Structure 1
Amino acid sequence: MTRENGISRRGTLKLTGAAAATALVAGCNDDNGNGNGNGDDDGNGNGEAAIEPGTEIMFDGQTAGWEGLEPSEIEGEQNPTLVLEEGESYTIGWTEGDGSLHNIEIRDDGGDVVDDLQTDETDDPGDDQILEFEASSEMAEYVCDPHETTMVGEIQVE
């Protein structure tokens, strides 16, 4: 180990390494403080999307999760968080699927279906897998009952 100006070369490298690690970690954080590097993400890998009133929200029902089809704000996102406006009308459902039995339900934070907003289970999605509703503050999530651990997304009503 050699010394320059009273500081060991090894000590200089340790300091440089610590400074670089601090900068790297700081650069990975985002404005939400969740460390995912994407301010539009809720920290669970689920994109957050503000949905305009009157919008039709459509999904591809995959056992691994709801995949957004439309609107474009959720396209390709798995189980995106839907930000809705209280009292405004929306349509939600699934028009494509993986051949497994699915349904769609809107639940409150206690896991109960809100205002009978649920469809029957089917492996062939169609018009009967579409729900029309007005957003209310009791709405917390959209879920496929048979796959409620993987096919579940958050609803935020503002």
Structure 2
Amino acid sequence: MAPYSTDRRTLLSGVAGTLATVSIAGCLGTDSSDDGGDDEPEPVVDEAESVEGDTDPDAWRDVEAIRFDGHVGGWVGVEPAAIDRVENPTLVLEMGREYELTWENMDGVHHNIAFWDGDREVVDGYSTDGNDVVGEREMLAFEATPEMATYRCEYQPEGQVGDVVVLEDADDTS
């Protein structure tokens, strides 16, 4: 009886190991539609069309309101036009200017939005409570400060994250 259990245990361990290896290899494999000539990153969220928005300060000059759709794979820009259908777009803000950022939950997963500094700390309490209700919106009024480095969901901080560029004034192009 003992040899049979050992062999069975060995067999089951081998099967489990093989399945784990195949699963991981499938996740790491390349997309069969990739022709190898385009190294530009693709959006993760189906609703997004790009991962590159317009970061020209002129495109952001009159912006007061920013709108996102929240998905577990990333934020998708809705407004202004510079970020429409862009996944995790870079925000170009003017230091000292006030903005309203509104986001809508699109998948029923708990999200919030917060501005973080370079040390991964929330800047000036600029964070929403969060929600997990499809169609529910949250609004965050904030003033752009030089400490702002990123905006992100604190529940999915690696997938829902975008850069923030804070200009000293509207004519600053750094």
Q: TM-score, normalised by structure 1?
A: 0.67
* 8 Å CA contact 1:97, 1:123 repeated in 2: no
Deviations 1:60-94 (A, max 9, x none): 00111000011111110000001111111111130
Rounded to whole Å, the distance in 2 between the matches of 1:138 and 1:105 is 13
Give the length in aligned residue pairs.
117
Counterpart of 2:109 (choices 88, 100, 104) is 100
Rounded to whole Å, the distance in 2 between the matches of 1:54 and 1:47 is 14
Deviation at 1:48, TM superposition (A): 4.1
Whichever structure has more strand as a proportion of its residues is 1
Summarize the Cα distance change of 1:60–1:75 in structure 2 as closer, same or farther, 3 Å threshold.
Answer: same
Give matches, 1:111-122, under 5 Å: 111-122=120-131
Identical aligned residues as a percent: 38
Give matches, 1:1-150, under 5 Å: 45-49=51-55, 50=57, 51-53=60-62, 55-124=64-133, 125-126=136-137, 129-150=138-159
Task: Give 3-state SS (helix, strand or coil) of 2:159's partner.
Answer: coil
Unaligned stretches of 5+ residues in structure 1: 1-24, 29-34, 37-43
Task: Give 3-state SS (helix, strand or coil) of 2:140's partner.
Answer: strand
Unaligned stretches of 5+ residues in structure 2: 1-36, 41-49, 168-174
**Where in structure 1 do 4 or more consecutive aligned residues deviate above 3 Å?**
none
Q: State the partner residue of 1:152.
A: 161
Deviations 1:130-153 (A, max 9, x none): 111111100111100111000000
Rounded to whole Å, the distance in 1 between the matches of 2:159 and 2:52 is 12
